[in-house]
């Protein structure tokens, strides 16, 4: 029996597969494929009078554009292989959706549930200090963001640490994204990755031929969805898709098991239950079963893995019965499983596309930080005044009268969240159309993942080519 590929090898195989379609200089292939630099840090923190040592990493995959960008994950199983794989995915993701950043990723080997808030603050500030001192966190060159196990709180501590060390850096707020809104964050960043999953599916369903190719028909309304992981990404994706697009979430898979309800699980209710009870077992509106992984094999229309990498591998891929897979997590399908599923004609919307909403809105946040102004601040009232004049003119010409409510909704100027959502929606639509055109326009490309990589690698290669390698 052959040993299964590591996550990094699995991503590398997918990339090499796409590279075989492109006519690239072999030297340039290696430059693009491999991580440029990886740092491992070990640092002590004194907690309640006892010294603890922690280990973390930050990998920079591709510096063809700066800053490099990508989240920092807190997990007990984190290791260098995973960080390198995730850093590579960040480069391709940014290139695909035209976010002008290189790729990076970080991780700290820690189980956050074992520490209280004050401990976490000390550990996070100490980790940030290590990264800053070694040049792996800086508004111009390397900008972290939240990932699994981290959120606004950790980003605020990291930004605070940077500001403390470099108070004279006028762009200090841009050293990290995913911050709380009142500390330089942007509205819509928390929901962004899940929102991007929703926009990706909406765009897919705008193409009836593509939908038919997955053995489906009609729109999103009523589609049966199985989702793995109700963390930040899974929760927002499931909430928006069920509340706004009418999909039926028939199963939610979590670490301790799976909740099943063929009529659809009320996602907000479940999330509130999880926050209050710290378990899904006692949730009243669905049946609980222990074997969560088995539920990936349920018959459904759309399977959304939104948790960990490597969930669909060569062991279970033949039993997957979903019509299509939407990769909200990074790397949920292994290279071997991907090959087998593609051979079966399974439609897979790939991770580098589906979960790019997070980094897209991080880009907006970074722009907001370096421009030192909230989106919409200059033009919102002006837009409203013009719209109001048009509405008055329309009334005068037609003699019709608009109700107060109708008039207000017509003239309302876009605020920050409207602009963020519109920018994200546009990004997800354009990237899908680019993947689709690449797929349809080539006889050598047979799936959306290869199309995504071909586009991303082509853009990175072009940028190396234009600037030159030195
Ligand atoms: N951690 C997220 C990702 O994997 C977001 C990265 C970012 O915003 O820089 O895409």
Provide the sign of the torsion angle of the four alpha carbons 431, 433, 436, 437, taken in this order.
Answer: negative
Active site amino acids: 105
Beta-bridge mates of residue 348: 325
Decide: 177 in ligand 1 pocket, CB within 6 A.
Answer: yes
Q: Whole-number mean pLDDT of the chain?
A: 96
d(CA 307, CA 327): 9
Between the CA of 122 and the centroid of ligand 1 the distance, in Å, is: 23
Cβ-based neighbour number of residue 316 at 10 Å: 14
- The DSSP-derived string for 320-331 is ---SEEE--SSS
Give the helix/strand (H/E) hosting 103. Answer: strand 102-109
Decide: 197 in ligand 1 pocket, CB within 6 A.
Answer: no
The whole-number mean pLDDT for each consecutive block of 10 residues of the chain, a chain of 470 residues, reads 88 96 91 95 98 98 95 98 97 98 98 98 98 98 98 98 98 98 97 98 98 98 98 98 98 98 98 97 97 97 97 98 98 98 97 98 98 94 95 93 91 95 98 98 97 98 83
Decide: 202 in ligand 1 pocket, CB within 6 A.
Answer: no
Between the CA of 147 and the centroid of ligand 1 the distance, in Å, is: 6
pLDDT digit string (tens) for 207-250? Answer: 999 999 999 999 999 999 999 999 999 999 999 999 999 999 99
CB-based contact 164:136 (threshold 8 Å): no
Decide: 362 in ligand 1 pocket, CB within 6 A.
Answer: yes
Total count of residues recorded for the chain? 470
């Amino acid at each position: 029996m052959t040993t299964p590929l590591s996550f990094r090898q699995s991503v590398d195989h997918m990339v090499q597969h796409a590279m075989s379609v492109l006519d690239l200089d072999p030297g340039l292939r290696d430059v693009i494929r491999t991580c440029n630099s990886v740092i491992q840090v070990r640092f002590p923190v004194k907690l309640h009078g006892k010294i603890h040592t922690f280990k973390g990493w930050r990998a920079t995959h591709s510096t063809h554009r700066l800053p490099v960008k990508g989240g920092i994950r807190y997990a007990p199983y984190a290791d260098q292989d995973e960080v390198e794989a995730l850093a590579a995915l960040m480069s391709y993701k940014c290139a695909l959706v035209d976010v002008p950043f290189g790729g990076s990723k970080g991780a700290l080997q820690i189980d956050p549930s074992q520490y209280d808030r004050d401990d976490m603050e000390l550990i996070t500030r100490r980790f940030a200090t290590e990264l800053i001192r070694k040049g792996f966190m800086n508004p111009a060159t390397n900008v972290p963001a939240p990932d699994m196990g981290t959120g606004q709180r950790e980003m605020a501590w990291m930004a605070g640490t940077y500001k403390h060390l470099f108070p004279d850096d006028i762009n200090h707020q841009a050293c990290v994204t995913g911050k709380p809104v009142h500390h330089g964050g942007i509205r819509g960043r928390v929901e962004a990755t899940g929102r991007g999953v929703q926009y990706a599916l909406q765009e897919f369903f705008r193409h009836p031929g593509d939908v038919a190719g997955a053995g489906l028909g009609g729109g999103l309304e009523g589609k049966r969805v199985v989702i793995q992981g109700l963390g930040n990404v899974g929760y927002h994706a499931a909430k928006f898709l069920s509340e706004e697009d009418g999909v039926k979430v028939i199963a939610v898979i979590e670490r301790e098991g799976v909740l099943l309800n063929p009529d659809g699980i009320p996602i907000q209710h479940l999330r509130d239950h999880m926050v209050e009870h710290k378990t899904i077992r006692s949730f009243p509106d669905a049946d609980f079963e222990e074997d969560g992984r088995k539920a990936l094999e349920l018959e459904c229309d759309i399977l959304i893995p939104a948790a960990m990498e490597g969930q669909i591998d060569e062991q279970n891929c033949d039993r997957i019965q979903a019509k299509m897979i939407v990769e909200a997590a990074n790397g949920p399908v292994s290279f071997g499983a991907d090959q087998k599923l593609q051979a079966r004609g399974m439609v897979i919307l790939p991770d580098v596309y589906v979960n790019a909403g997070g980094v897209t809105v991080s880009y907006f946040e970074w722009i907001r930080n370096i421009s030192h102004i909230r989106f919409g601040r200059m033009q919102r009232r002006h837009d409203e005044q013009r719209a109001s004049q048009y509405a008055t003119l329309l009334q005068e010409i037609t003699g019709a009268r608009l109700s107060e409510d109708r008039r207000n909704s017509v003239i309302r100027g876009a605020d920050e969240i409207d602009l963020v959502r519109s920018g994200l929606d546009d990004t997800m639509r354009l990237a899908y159309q680019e993947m689709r055109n690449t797929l349809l326009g080539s006889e050598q490309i047979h799936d959306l993942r290869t199309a995504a990589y071909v586009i991303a690698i082509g853009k990175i290669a072009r940028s190396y080519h234009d600037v030159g390698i030195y």
